[in-house]
Amino acid sequence: MDSARQKMNIDGYLYPQADELTKAVGEAMALQAIPACPGHAILEAPLHGNTIVVRNRTLSGPLRVVTEIEIHTAASEPQHWEEVSPAAKADEGPLGAARRLAQLNIFALLQKITGRTPGPWGILRGVRPTKLAHRFFDQGLAVGDVITRMQDYYGVTGAKAELVADIALRQRSFHLTGDVAKKTVSIYIGIPFCPSRCLYCSFPSNVLPADRGKVEAFLEALELDIKAAAAEIDRYGLTVQTVYIGGGTPTALAADDFERLLTLTRRAFISPLTREFTVEAGRPDTIDDAKISAMQRAGVTRVSVNPQTMQEKTLKLIGRRHSVHDIILVLEKIRSAGNPIINMDIIVGLPGEDEGILADTMDQITGLSPDNLTVHTLAIKKGSLLKSDQEGFDLPGEGAAARMLAIADSCARKQGMVPYYLYRQKYMADNLENVGYALPGRECLYNIQIIDERQTIIGIGPAAATKAVDPGDWRLTSSYMPKDLSTYINHLDKFLDRRRELLARLMES
């Protein structure tokens, strides 16, 4: 009967109950990009297009949710739809279960009404699906049960449930527990400069100032920040497991400043127990012989070069000032200097690219034999140049990003790599994900720790987050450095105090 009804677009929704399920209803609607509409919209349906009224009620013992949707259109009498959820699970709290079940109902109803599936991740909107899989593994579930739960609980497709369970299982050998976990941290240092702004970037990055005074003021603040973090590490007798210098583009700094940063970092944090020292050297045009030598002297073990595409035309379009040849040359130089594990990043779904072009990029990447490859899906984020002029670009059609992701996955696996971390972002093409692949034994530990949130990470530099993780229950508390560069430089003390208090609460508990 449902399939006989005509599929339709929904322009807005109304949830008149305004109760503890309101937020969950809004999130389920957001997956289909359906906005809330004002109360009078239903009376004015002809003006507002197709609008729906949503109502939920619960059935007790065991808890179920019944969701009713009434569709108001200009052309016909209101239509009525209803979905009864499966029963809540025994290990769920009633409110959490009601929210989840209401979302599953809305997800199912909207697919029937609109004929559209909002991507393969079901009702999940969070950025870290692996954390959910870890929670299930912590309860003692076997892989097969984790896969089934991801599907049943959240409506995730079988393929994505398998992917996330496979990755989470692989990550578990990297997690520490108990006292060792509490006393082991990673360090993130953010350098907020880039040589130019990429088309899709929403990061609070600045083009490197020409004014030497500004750069010097930043470096002085950063030095205070690094020394304050090192003092915390001494105070609590912590081991630094990994260090990651990211951004921005750290190699955008002048060679002397870059070496100063690496020397400070090495002295403050690197010990024989440190397993990894990564530098993001994202743009090939910022890397030269002096910076490669500086990385070697400082003992950097991993370098990330992030071309995003191996197509000249696309590089120009996204605002890069380097060629494909520059990427190849820089990788050769880094390798021949004896330097370390190489990571590369690409993005699927860039303007003007299709499956054939992506396959060509993957062929070229294969020829360069990176140890790690992170495959991002394009996200059109607020604050990016792409978002402000979206119509002006030839973006891939519906389903193309998913096909490109599959091509990249197949190429990475053919190179002997396996997926080892995964995360999602808002506004991703086809509502997909980013996946990191590595040759076995060449995984980036920091990437696992930052996504799984099972290790304390001390954040240094503008916009950096410090995440204090209690290994007793994996509870997370955070403090943030300001995004704005001037605020960071002028009010650093205040933010250092907050970080100190956050770490004290964790370490002295």
Residues near ligand SF4 (CB under 6 A): 194, 197-198, 201, 203, 205, 247-249, 282-283
Closest to ligand SF4 by CB, 198 or 492? 198
Cα dihedral sign for 497, 502, 505, 506? negative
Tell the smallest beta-carbon distance from residue 247 to ligand SF4 (Å). 6
Closest to ligand SF4 by CB, 130 or 249? 249
Tell the smallest beta-carbon distance from residue 389 to ligand SF4 (Å). 16
Tell the smallest beta-carbon distance from residue 458 to ligand SF4 (Å). 21
CA distances from 140 to 133, 135, 137, 218, 260 (A): 11, 9, 5, 48, 48
Closest to ligand SF4 by CB, 105 or 249? 249
Kindly give the pairing relationship between strand 79-84 and strand 184-191.
Answer: unpaired
Tokens linked to 197: 């702004």
Q: What is the DSSP string of 385-439?
A: HHHHTGGGS----TTHHHHHHHHHHHHHHHTT-EEEEEE--TTBGGG--EEEEE-
d(CA 91, CA 347) in angstroms, rounded, equals 39
CA distances from 250 to 225, 260, 279, 344, 389 (A): 16, 12, 7, 16, 28
Tell the smallest beta-carbon distance from residue 60 to ligand SF4 (Å). 51
Tell the smallest beta-carbon distance from residue 248 to ligand SF4 (Å). 5
Contact 358, 314 (CB under 8 A): no
Tell the smallest beta-carbon distance from residue 244 to ligand SF4 (Å). 14
Closest to ligand SF4 by CB, 347 or 445? 347
Closest to ligand SF4 by CB, 184 or 343? 343
Tell the smallest beta-carbon distance from residue 305 to ligand SF4 (Å). 11
User: Exposed, middle or buried: residue 57 (CB in 10 Å: 0-12, 13-18, 19+)?
Assistant: exposed
Look up residue 44 and give its DSSP letter. Answer: T
Closest to ligand SF4 by CB, 205 or 309? 205
Closest to ligand SF4 by CB, 118 or 349? 349
DSSP reduced 3-state for 104: helix
The residue type of 181 is A
